[in-house]
Amino acid sequence: MSEENPYAPPEYPPPAGPSFAPSAGDKWAPPEEGGAESSDAVTRPVAGVATQPVTAVRPTNGSARLALILGALAILLTPLAGIAAVVVGRRARAEIARSGEGGEGLAKAGIWMGSAFSLAWLLGAAFLIAVHLGSIAS
């Protein structure tokens, strides 16, 4: 009794199409074993080998990262961290415009977070002072 495994993967026929094996006179073939390698073999792709395009990544501005970190810390610390985030973020945006580095969004986020959390801290302090003064007057 030979039962087939119901969980076995199906068997497919080999794909039809051209073979990617280099022919004897193919100029894109890899160099012969033991032969001298030419510069063409190094710079040109081998037939049938997939290559990835090379993309350049812009470096991220360090001041923009610092602005984002200070802006996030402004919710836990004092408004001074938020004010520092705004100052560092504006400086980072100027550096990014001058150098072409990445991080524009980080700098903007640091400026916005620093501004919003500093304002929240100041409004909270004003509210607590008003409540305290109101309790003294009554």
Helix segments in the chain, DSSP class H: 39-43, 62-73, 79-99, 104-137
Q: Is residue 25 part of a domain?
A: no
pLDDT, the chain, mean: 81
* pLDDT band, residue 135 (cuts 50/70/90): confident
Lowest mean pLDDT of 7-21, 77-91, 115-129, name the range.
7-21
Between CA 2 and CA 8, with CA 6 as vertex, the angle to 5 degrees is: 95
User: Is a pLDDT exceeding 60 seen at residue 1?
Assistant: no
Closest to 107 measured CA to CA, from 92, 95, 119, 94:
92
So what's the pLDDT on residue 104? Answer: 95
What is the maximum alpha-carbon separation in the chain?
101
Q: Is residue 71 part of a domain?
A: yes
* pLDDT band, residue 106 (cuts 50/70/90): very high
Q: Is residue 100 part of a domain?
A: yes
pLDDT in tens, 46-87: 666 666 777 778 899 999 999 999 999 998 888 899 999 999
pTM, whole model, 2 decimals? 0.58
Domain residues for the domain of 97 are 62-137
Q: Is residue 125 part of a domain?
A: yes
Dihedral in degrees, nearest 10, Cα atoms 35, 38, 42, 45: -90
User: Is a pLDDT exceeding 90 seen at residue 102?
Assistant: yes
So what's the pLDDT on residue 41? Answer: 45
Q: Is residue 94 part of a domain?
A: yes
Q: Is the dihedral of CA 45, 49, 55, 60 positive or negative?
A: negative
Residue with tokens 């003064």: 133
Q: Compare 19 and 113 and report the one with higher pLDDT.
A: 113
So what's the pLDDT on residue 64? Answer: 96
Q: Number of structural domains, the chain?
A: 1
